Amino acid sequence: MLSLGTLEELPQAYRDNLTDLNLVPLWPSMRAVLPYKVPTRKTQTLNWRYQNVRPLLLEAGELTPMEKAERRVLVLANPGHGLENMQATPSIYLGLQLILPGETAPNHRHTPNAVRIIVEGEGAYTTVAGEPCRMERGDLILTPSGKWHEHHHEGQGPIVWLDVLDLPLIYQLESSWAIEGQNQQTTLSRDKSFAEYSAAGVVPNINFERAPSDSPQLRYPWTKTRACLLEMAEHYSTGVLRISYVNPETGGSVFPSLGFGAIMLRAGERCVLPKRTTPCVFHAVEGSGSLSVDGGEPLSWVEKDTLSSPGYSDIVLVNDSKTEPAFLITADEEPLHQHLGVY
């Protein structure tokens, strides 16, 4: 390996002249931006334990009315990226959002893509582009870039969901912006796209026309995903049991930026994930266990917890239960890595 010159080796007058002209010598910083073989990773392995976040989120419900919040969210910020930057991974923003009975989060639309994963509560729905999507525990609901969306809660007790956005990426691209709108008028009583795409391998062909291919399905109910994984377990007694959430018209990822999946850990299973370039977020829908990264101390998790792990690392997931399966939903940057040719 080359031994590169340092900044200190350069005369101060020369360095000052460079600075005056907004110039920087590359060679002293070359290894910082191009480390040998393994990239620098700021993403720390972390568990945002729901048990710790929930009381503070409910307190936000008392402290801040919806009119003053637009969205009442506590952001799950990875300290490795600096808390103020609101990044769980380089491209993923995570937040836990609370709506109380009778409240509405007003209609708006924006450039970042968002997914909601429902954590707790019943009786709420998100209207996305005129389609009211029911929110049930573990459901995945898309609000793609540019689509109007507003949240309503007509049930009892709080509703909490996990927001997953590509906001850090879109923000870095200096392309993050939003507009507000009047609440949507809809004639639909429930989510239509789920009905249309409720059978895998079968897609709607209304008036002999297939749907346009950008985000045709908005709601992915957990009951279907869970049943599919259990059914798959009947056929695969070993190996990682994993599904991907896809655009059912194209088979591609739900967004160009972020990918979503779900993993089932069989009773008592110790699951070694294939090593990948992308950092990953795990949300425990059911069960309890641990996550260890690069042979480090296992980090325990229980249902409703949300964890992060860096890319280029060896990840082991363990299901603590000897009798019941455990389920996790994952979010990662695989589509971006694939598109850029670095996956």
Contact residues: ligand 1HN, CB under 6 A: 71, 73, 95, 97, 105, 110, 114, 149, 163, 165, 167
- Smallest gap from residue 106 Cβ to ligand 1HN (A): 9
- Smallest gap from residue 126 Cβ to ligand 1HN (A): 8
- Smallest gap from residue 220 Cβ to ligand 1HN (A): 17
Q: Of the two residues 71 and 134, which places its CB atom closer to ligand 1HN in the complex?
A: 71
- Smallest gap from residue 55 Cβ to ligand 1HN (A): 21
> How far is 68 from 70, CA to CA, in rounded Å?
6
CB 58: neighbour CB atoms within 10 A? 14
Q: Among residues 158, 13, 145, which one has the least CA distance to residue 74? A: 158
- Smallest gap from residue 86 Cβ to ligand 1HN (A): 8
* Longest CA pairwise span in the chain (Å): 75
User: Which residue matches tokens 């609000």?
Assistant: 143
> How far is 238 from 23, CA to CA, in rounded Å?
56
Taking CA atoms, 253 is separated from 68, 276, 333, in Å, by: 35, 17, 10
- Smallest gap from residue 110 Cβ to ligand 1HN (A): 6
> How far is 220 from 198, CA to CA, in rounded Å?
9
- Smallest gap from residue 182 Cβ to ligand 1HN (A): 16
> How far is 199 from 154, CA to CA, in rounded Å?
29
Q: Of the two residues 73 and 315, which places its CB atom closer to ligand 1HN in the complex?
A: 73
User: Which residue matches tokens 């325990």?
Assistant: 300
Q: Of the two residues 95 and 325, which places its CB atom closer to ligand 1HN in the complex?
A: 95
Q: Of the two residues 165 and 281, which places its CB atom closer to ligand 1HN in the complex?
A: 165
Q: Of the two residues 71 and 242, which places its CB atom closer to ligand 1HN in the complex?
A: 71
> How far is 196 from 286, CA to CA, in rounded Å?
27
Phi-psi region of 18 (alpha: psi -120 to 50; beta: other; left: phi over 0): alpha
No. of helices (H) and no. of strands (E), the chain: 7, 23
Q: Of the two residues 135 and 328, which places its CB atom closer to ligand 1HN in the complex?
A: 135
Q: Of the two residues 76 and 264, which places its CB atom closer to ligand 1HN in the complex?
A: 76
R_g of the chain, CA atoms, integer Å: 22
Q: Of the two residues 113 and 225, which places its CB atom closer to ligand 1HN in the complex?
A: 113
Q: What φ, ψ does residue 303 adopt, rounded to 5°?
A: -60, 145
- Smallest gap from residue 328 Cβ to ligand 1HN (A): 22
Taking CA atoms, 296 is separated from 50, 287, 292, 314, in Å, by: 22, 22, 6, 10
- Smallest gap from residue 290 Cβ to ligand 1HN (A): 29
| Core vs surface per residue 83-101: b (16+ CB within 10 A) or e | eebbbbbbbbbbbbbbbbe
Q: Of the two residues 64 and 205, which places its CB atom closer to ligand 1HN in the complex?
A: 64
